[in-house]
A and B are shown apart, each in its own frame.
Chain A
Amino acid sequence: NAGVMQNPRHLVRRRGQEARLRCSPMKGHSHVYWYRQLPEEGLKFMVYLQKENIIDESGMPKERFSAEFPKEGPSILRIQQVVRGDSAAYFCASSGSTGAYYEQYFGPGTRLTVT
């Protein structure tokens, strides 16, 4: 049973370019969460999605960032016109219905470097 998959694992973009990060949840999971970890900081929630719906985007920056989880295919986190401050590790987590708790399992992350 494959775990959460993310690609690419490493992504280098120049300032002003677009970054697209992909996440495939664990088999049977329909809830996807994106978190960002800046260097030497803790993980911060960005957005929570179910298939075709954004449930909570309270942690998303208002500009340049968007996320989707289409009916078919992986969830996508899109960052337009990247800046150096966007350099971070972006982790995706997924959850399903396991007993009474929806424990979140994390993918290996995408390390974005903006030059």
Chain B
Amino acid sequence: RKEVEQDPGPFNVPEGATVAFNCTYSNSASQSFFWYRQDCRKEPKLLMSVYSSGNEDGRFTAQLNRASQYISLLIRDSKLSDSATYLCVVSKSNFGNEKLTFGTGTRLTIIP
């Protein structure tokens, strides 16, 4: 079983729609959680950290359910520029200085 599992997609969503991604992780020792986005043939870029209480950054909302070992990302009012692969990422440290474990990503395409 993969340590971080994501639906690979692709998700093809019309511009302006709301889209949600889910991710599950198997290691209950995981302490830090992130969403990164990766454009084709580019480096991953940190989108947001995910906190236990849930957090929002503009059109993006992330939720964490430790009991179910489940992380989600919601994108509202999607833009063409949101087209990318979204990577669910976990770490066993909540102080950093620990390797990141990546899911294989969910590919999103926003359709005009």
Residues of A within 8 A of B (CB): 31, 33, 35, 41-45, 48, 55-56, 58-59, 89, 91, 93, 95, 97, 100-109, 111
Q: Report the interface size for chain B: residues with CB under 8 A from the other chain.
A: 23
Give chain B residues whose Cβ lies under 8 Å from the Cβ of A35: 100, 102
Q: Is B1 an interface residue (CB 8 A)?
A: no
B103 CB → nearest A CB, Å: 6
In the complex, which residue of chain A has the Cβ closest to the Cβ of B100? A104
Residue numbers of B with Cβ under 8 A of A are 32, 34, 41-46, 49, 87, 93-105
Tell whether, in the assembled complex, residue B46 and residue A95 are in contact, meaning their CB atoms are under 8 Å apart.
no
Chain A residues positioned under 8 Å from B101 (CB to CB): 45
With A33-B99, A55-B97 in contact, is A109–B43 under 8 Å at CB? yes
With the chains together, A101 CA to B32 CA distance in Å? Answer: 9
Contact present for B96 and A106 (CB under 8 Å): no
What is the bound-complex CA distance between A58 and B43, given in angstroms? 22
Q: A42-B105, A43-B102, A108-B43 are in contact. Are A31 and B32 (CB under 8 A)?
A: no
Contacting residue for A106 out of B44, B97, B105, CB 8 A? B44
Instruction: Please report the C-alpha to C-alpha distance between residue A97 and residue B95 in the assembled complex, in whole angstroms.
Output: 9
Knowing A108-B42, A108-B43, A109-B43 are in contact, say whether A102-B95 is a contact too (CB < 8 A): yes
B66 to chain A, nearest CB (A): 17
| In the bound complex, CA of A104 to CA of B95 (Å) | 12
Kindly report which residue of chain B lies nearest to residue A55, judged by CB atoms: B97
Contacts of A48 in B (CB 8 A): 97-99
**Residues in A whose Cβ lies below 8 Å from that of B96:** 31, 95, 97, 101-103
Contact of B100 among A33, A89, A108 (CB under 8 A): A33
